[in-house]
Amino acid sequence: MKGKIDIEKIENKLSKYKPSDIENYDKSSFTHYLHNHKNGVSKFYKKNAISYVKEELNKEYPTENITNKIAEEALQYLIIGLNTDIPFPAPKKPEFKFVDLFAGIGGFRLALQNLGGKCVFTSEWDKYSKQTYKANFGELPFGDITKPETKSYIPDNFDVLCAGFPCQAFSIAGRRGGFEDTRGTLFFDVAEIIKKKQPKAIFLENVKGLRNHDKGKTLSTILNVLREDLNYYVPEPKIINAKEFGVPQNRERIFIVGFRKDQGIDSFEYPESSNENVILEEVLEENEVSVKYYLSTKYLQTLREHRARHESKGNGFGYEIIPHEGTANAVVCGGMGRERNLVIDDRLSNFKPVTNITGEVNREGIRKMTPREWARLQGFPDDFKIVVSDAQAYKQFGNSVAVPAIQATALKIIEKIKYNA
Ligand SMILES: C[S@@+](CC[C@H](N)C(=O)[O-])C[C@H]1O[C@@H](n2cnc3c(N)ncnc32)[C@H](O)[C@@H]1O
């Protein structure tokens, strides 16, 4: 039978990913297995990985008797021929292990891999974010982290837990919110995983608004749970601006870090600004930008009218043209915010007015930033693959983290746990 299996064909088939709403634990396990075969983590994924290969072999060779043994052998062949042609493979000699929860497109992963970390588990439920993640890191994230089955795939003994979880209010019964008050929220799931797996360090990220969310109760409950119920040393959270770390984007996010108490860590310094003065110009496309990004004259007129109407009421609704030598506002996903935040004026560069067939000007030179420019604003390198539609790409980069700010903070965390190890 072995001779009959065309491993290349199988490999080609298995490496494909079609966005789907259906969770496939076996397929996620399979990709996690392949990328963890050199460390002790692979045993967590082996059973499901074999089951996945077996199922696929059965589909391809329906008349053959595919046993577990054959599937396991095929799996070993697949490891040998593992397609390492992904832009961001794990470091060759990893120095620590981490998990990437609410992974999005892997902003945390990129930063922690750059510091020598090996990601051993990923969860993200959005099918298009999974597609981007798979194209860049080779692994297909597991899905809904609130499901016990998803959590059952998280291996033991990793060092750092990363999570940029969505912010939700808790309904607190007592004076100070505790673990049980957070039940039913995504923070509860994060806390439950920390409690069970006891990582050395945790790194949580959220919108700046978390600080004042529900009159400050949400943040104080989070800190209370981490400090009192989970017994972690958690210094005061800090609001960090991406623009302090070498990208021209004014993006403030709250960072919460923590250390398991038995390590004796009782101080932590967040990173200092890198003091690089980067301007928008440095992230703009070098080549001519497709005309589709330029706003039509008609649309621009509508925006201008909106602004004229609404700014007079003082709510600033409208759009803002960001100068090339300036700093962009935070990239955010969806709606009018997108245009308002990130419209730039190319009239002074090499833009030639675009006309329609009757010769009227219909594009003046004011355009949206491209997905690649958004990627750069978030500190993603140019070899980061964008494999989804523009609409999805804006959403994904808008949801993501500014990698350099995450990396600078993660470095401080790693230095602490290494120093104290
Ligand atoms: C703020 S984004 C985090 C983005 C990420 N830090 C990055 O670098 O791209 C939150 C992510 O959590 C995902 N998410 C929300 N609820 C989830 C759940 N129950 N299970 C898994 N992922 C979830 C969303 O799809 C979204 O991509």
Q: Is the CB–ligand 1 distance for residue 392 below 6 Å? A: no
- The CB of 28 under 6 Å from ligand 1? The reply is no
Domain's final residue, options 25, 48, 80: 80
Which residues does the chain have with pLDDT short of 70?
1-4, 81-84, 173-175, 311-318, 333-341, 419-421
- Pocket lining: 379 vs ligand 1, CB cutoff 6 Å: no
User: Same structural domain for residues 249 and 131?
Assistant: yes
Is residue 383 situated within a structural domain? no
261 and 215 within one domain: yes
The predicted pLDDT at position 315 comes to: 47
Claim to verify: residue 127 and residue 214 sit in the same structural domain: yes
- 117-148 in b/e form (b: 16+ CB < 10 A) is bbbbbbbbbbbbbbbbbbbbbbbbbbbebeee
pLDDT at 12: 78
| Number of domains making up the chain | 3
Which sequence positions are flagged as catalytic? 167
- pLDDT tens digits, residue range 310-362? 765 554 455 778 889 989 888 886 554 455 557 888 887 778 888 988 988 89
261 with 156, same domain?
yes
Q: Pick the residue whose CA is nearest to atom 27 on ligand 1.
A: 104
**124 alpha carbon to ligand 1 midpoint, in Å?**
6
- The confidence score (pLDDT) of residue 14 equals 80
Is 166 touching ligand 1 by the criterion CB < 6 Å?
yes
244 and 297 part of one domain = no
CATH number at residue 149: 3.40.50.150
Domain annotation covers residue 86: no
Distance 147 CA to ligand 1 centre (A): 14
Same domain, 269 and 292: no
Whether residue 45 has its Cβ less than 6 Å from ligand 1: no
Which ligand 1 atom sits closest to the C-alpha of 107?
8
> Per the domain annotation, does 388 fall within a domain?
no
pTM: 0.93
Residue 312 maps to a domain: yes
Among 25, 56, 80, residue at a domain's last position = 80
The per-residue pLDDT for range 148-182, each reduced to its tens digit, is 999 999 999 999 999 999 877 777 766 678 888 88
Ligand 1 atom closest to Cα of 110? 8
Q: Is residue 314 a part of any domain in this protein?
A: yes
Q: So what's the pLDDT on residue 336?
A: 45
Q: Among the three residues 80, 112, 128, which one is the final residue of a domain in this structure?
A: 80
For 416, other C-beta atoms within 10 Å of its C-beta total 20
What's the domain range around 62?
Answer: 2-80
Separation of 140 CA from ligand 1 center, angstroms? Answer: 14
Q: What is the pLDDT of residues 19-30, one digit of tens each?
A: 988 999 999 999
Structure-token pair, residue 153: 């795939």
User: Separation of 104 CA from ligand 1 center, angstroms?
Assistant: 5
> Does 22 share its domain with 166?
no
